[in-house]
C-alpha cells in the first residue's frame, strides 16, 4: 500500500522511487524475485559501508519508532542499529507497559501518536493481523516485525539473504524446516519467500507442531515438492539448508504439552557429521537447546552471520522505504 504523507511531497531530487518508497512491509507476499534481488544488492552495499566507514548520513533527520509489544533482542536492536548507522534516530518503545498502552490505549491510537513524531514505525505485536491494522490507521509506513504466529517478513528477508550468501544460489535447493512449524512465524514467512524459487521442502516436526496444512498446499500448488517428516535423520544427508527453530513456549495454552515436545530435536556434532559438507545450518534465534554450543565452531553454522545480515537487510529496507536507496 502506498501512503500519502509528507514524504510524497518531497522534492524529486530528495528521494529515489524504488518501488518501496513510502510503503508498508506487512507480508512477504508483497515481494517478488526482482524486488528481493534489489534489496539484497543494497544490503550488500550496506555491509561494505559499515565495514569501511561504520556509518553514513543517508537517513539523517529521519526518525524511526520501534514499537514492541513482545520481547525481542535481535529484531529491535538491529532495526535500531540500522537506523543509527544511517544517521537517523530512534524512539524505542520496547517496554510498552511503561507507555500509555498500560492505560488502555488502542493500537490504532498508539500508532497515530507515534507517526506524529516518526517517519516510519516498526511494530511487533502478539496478534496475527496487527501490523495490517496499524498500517490501515497510520499514514506513515509500517514494518511488521512479527505479528503473533502470522508473519515476520524482515526476518525472512535476512534468512533468504543468508542462504544466498552462504550457498551462492536460491534455485534448486533442498531445505528442511525443523522444529515448531505450527507457531514459528519465521518459518511461515521464509516458506512463502522460498516458494518464489525452485525449492524442495522437507517440513520436519513433531505431529502436533506441523506446518499449517494450507501452507503446505500453497507450496505444492506452486509446483514445488514438499514432504512432512518427523525424524530429521530421514533427510539430514540430503539437504542444503537446515533451518532450525525454537518451540514457541509463549504460544502454548498447556505447558505440559510444551514440555512434551520442547526437546524433540537437538542438533549436535553427531548429527552434523551426517550432513553434507556444504550444508548451511540456520536458526532465527533465540535458541533454547535446539542447537548445542558444540556446533557453533562448525563452519556450516551460519546463525551468527545470519543475525549480522539482519542489520544490513534492515538498513537496505529503511533506506528504500524512506526513498534514499
Q: Can you read off the three cell numbers belonging to residue 100?
A: 500509555
Among 27, 75, 205, 280, binds ligand NCD (CB under 6 A): 75
CB of 301 to ligand NCD, least distance (A): 16
Q: Is residue 78 close enough to count as binding ligand NCD by CB under 6 A?
A: no
Among 152, 182, 188, 192, binds ligand NCD (CB under 6 A): 152
Place of cell 525481542: 72
| 183 in Cβ contact with 149 (< 8 Å) | yes
Q: Is residue 179 close enough to count as binding ligand NCD by CB under 6 A?
A: no
CB of 208 to ligand NCD, least distance (A): 17
Among 185, 188, 314, 324, binds ligand NCD (CB under 6 A): 185
Q: Is 21 exposed, middle or buried (0-12, 13-18, 19+ CB in 10 A)?
A: buried
Q: Is residue 186 close enough to count as binding ligand NCD by CB under 6 A?
A: yes
**Distance of alpha carbon 48 from alpha carbon 53, whole angstroms:** 8
Among 22, 88, 141, 146, binds ligand NCD (CB under 6 A): 146
Site for ligand NCD in 232-271 (CB under 6 A): 245-246
CB of 9 to ligand NCD, least distance (A): 34
Q: What is the largest CA-CA distance in the chain?
A: 59
SS3 content of the chain, % helix, strand, coil (to 5): 45, 15, 40
For 285-323, give one letter per residue: b (16+ CB within 10 A) or e: beeeebbeeebeebebbbbeebbebbbbbbbbbbbbbbb
**Distance of alpha carbon 104 from alpha carbon 219, whole angstroms:** 40
Among 8, 15, 35, 74, binds ligand NCD (CB under 6 A): 74
CB of 92 to ligand NCD, least distance (A): 16
CA-angle at 154, arms to 304 and 195, nearest 5°: 100
Say if residue 286 is preceded by a cis peptide, omega within 30 of 0: yes
Task: Select 185 or 324, whichever has its Cβ closest to ligand NCD.
Answer: 185
Total residues interacting with ligand NCD, rule: CB under 6 A: 11
CB of 311 to ligand NCD, least distance (A): 12
Task: Select 21 or 265, whichever has its Cβ closest to ligand NCD.
Answer: 265
CB of 116 to ligand NCD, least distance (A): 27
CB of 186 to ligand NCD, least distance (A): 5
Among 202, 284, 291, 313, binds ligand NCD (CB under 6 A): 284
Strands 63-68 vs 199-204: parallel, antiparallel or unpaired: unpaired
Closest listed residue to residue 242, CA positions, set 176, 146, 182, 192: 176
CB of 277 to ligand NCD, least distance (A): 27
Task: Select 22 or 146, whichever has its Cβ closest to ligand NCD.
Answer: 146
Q: Is residue 155 close enough to count as binding ligand NCD by CB under 6 A?
A: yes
Q: Is residue 162 close enough to count as binding ligand NCD by CB under 6 A?
A: no
| 171 in Cβ contact with 236 (< 8 Å) | no
The residue ranges that bind ligand NCD (CB under 6 A) are 74-75, 146, 152, 155, 185-186, 245-246, 284-285
Amino acid at each position: 500500500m502506498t501512503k500519502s504523507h509528507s514524504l510524497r511531497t518531497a522534492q524529486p531530487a530528495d528521494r529515489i522511487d524504488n518501488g518501496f518508497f513510502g510503503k508498508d512491509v506487512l507480508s512477504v507476499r508483497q515481494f517478488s524475485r526482482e524486488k528481493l534481488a534489489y534489496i539484497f544488492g543494497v544490503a550488500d552495499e550496506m555491509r561494505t559501508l559499515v565495514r569501511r566507514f561504520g556509518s553514513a548520513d543517508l537517513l539523517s533527520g529521519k526518525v524511526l519508532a520501534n514499537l514492541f509489544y513482545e520481547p525481542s533482542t535481535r529484531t529491535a536492536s538491529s532495526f535500531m542499529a540500522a537506523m543509527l548507522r544511517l544517521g537517523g534516530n530512534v524512539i524505542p518503545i520496547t517496554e510498552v507497559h511503561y507507555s500509555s498502552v498500560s492505560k488502555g490505549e488502542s493500537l490504532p491510537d498508539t500508532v497515530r501518536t507515534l507517526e506524529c513524531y516518526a517517519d516510519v514505525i516498526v511494530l511487533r505485536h502478539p496478534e496475527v493481523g496487527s501490523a495490517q491494522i496499524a498500517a490501515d490507521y497510520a499514514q506513515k509506513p509500517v514494518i511488521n516485525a512479527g505479528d503473533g504466529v502470522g508473519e515476520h517478513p524482515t526476518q525472512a528477508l535476512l534468512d533468504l539473504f543468508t542462504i544466498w550468501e552462504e550457498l551462492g544460489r536460491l534455485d534448486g535447493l533442498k531445505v528442511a524446516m525443523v522444529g515448531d512449524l505450527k507457531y514459528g512465524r519465521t518459518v511461515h514467512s521464509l516458506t512463502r519467500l522460498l516458494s518464489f524459487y525452485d525449492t524442495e521442502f522437507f517440513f520436519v516436526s513433531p505431529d502436533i507442531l506441523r506446518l499449517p496444512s494450507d501452507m503446505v498446499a500453497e507450496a505444492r500448488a506452486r509446483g514445488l515438492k514438499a514432504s512432512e517428516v518427523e525424524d530429521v535423520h530421514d533427510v539430514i544427508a540430503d539437504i542444503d539448508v537446515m533451518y532450525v527453530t525454537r518451540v514457541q513456549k509463549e504460544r502454548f495454552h498447556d505447558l505440559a504439552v510444551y514440555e512434551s515436545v520442547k526437546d524433540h530435536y537437538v542438533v549436535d556434532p553427531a548429527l552434523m557429521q551426517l550432513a553434507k559438507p556444504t550444508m548451511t545450518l540456520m536458526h532465527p534465534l533465540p535458541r533454547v537447546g535446539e542447537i548445542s554450543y558444540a556446533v557453533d565452531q562448525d563452519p556450516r553454522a551460519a546463525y551468527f552471520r545470519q543475525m549480522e545480515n539482519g542489520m544490513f537487510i534492515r538498513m537496505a529496507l529503511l533506506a528504500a522505504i524512506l526513498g534514499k536507496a
